[in-house]
Amino acid sequence: MIHGIVLGPSLFVNRPDVAFTFLYGMLLTVVAMTIIGAVGIKYFSYILKIKMEYIVPTVLVFALFGAYSLRNSLFDVFIAIVLGIVGAVFKKIHVPLAPIIIGVVLGPLIETNLARAMRISGARDMPLWEYLLASPLSKGLVALVIIMLLVVVRMRRKEKAAAKETKNV
């Protein structure tokens, strides 16, 4: 936007030179990474032979350097250390980290769009659930989510039954 380029579908019409430069660059990146991966696979496998006693402190130092260098603030380093400890505790008590990370990353986006949907539904004098289920696409997505949840519940019940059966044997 600083250079007067408006992003979106119109970019291919208004500035095809910029759009296709990015596309060709990404294609070149894929080709280069494939070549580097194919040539370097033998050498990259040596990383697996490094002992964890050397890898963990190195990764921690680089992570703390990265936290500090973001805004040159020791507060960011403190936050990184606290969140690392929280992550270790969660791992110890078997709390999955993936849903937490997804929630932290997508939370602000979901909150913004929920507030937008509530304003739109209020302006149309509709309940939120009715507005959210107004299109066939949203009804299909809700149905798909419900089906996926039922499949997961059924799979977990079968796993528990199988584990209980093997335990009894």
- pLDDT tens, position by position, 101-149: 898 899 999 999 999 989 998 888 889 888 888 889 999 999 999 999 9
Q: What is the pLDDT of the chain when averaged over all its residues?
A: 90
pLDDT the model gives residue 37? 94
What pLDDT, on the 0 to 100 scale, is given for residue 25?
95
Looking at residue 81, what is its pLDDT?
95
Is it the case that residue 80 has pLDDT exceeding 90? yes
Q: Does 11 have pLDDT greater than 90?
A: no
The label of the residue with tokens 């507060």 reads: 75
CA 73 to chain centre: 26
Tell which residue, 117, 148, 145, has the closest CA to residue 131.
Answer: 117
pLDDT for res 2: 67
Are the C-beta atoms of residues 49 and 55 closer than 8 Å to each other?
Answer: no
Q: What is the phi-psi region of residue 94: left when phi exceeds 0, alpha when psi lies from -120 to 50, beta otherwise?
A: left
Amino acid at 148: M
For residue 42, pLDDT over 80 is answered with yes
pTM greater than 0.95 (yes/no) = no
Tell how far CA 80 is from the center of its chain. Answer: 19
pLDDT given at position 147: 97
**Residue 169 pLDDT greater than 80, yes or no:** no
The yes-or-no verdict on residue 48 having pLDDT over 80 is yes
Q: Which of 62-66, 76-80, 118-122 comes out lowest in average pLDDT? A: 118-122
Using CA atoms of 37, 39, 40, 43 in order, give the dihedral in degrees to the nearest 10. Answer: 150
Q: What does the pLDDT read at residue 167?
A: 78
| pLDDT at position 162 over 90 | no
What is the model's pLDDT at position 100? 87
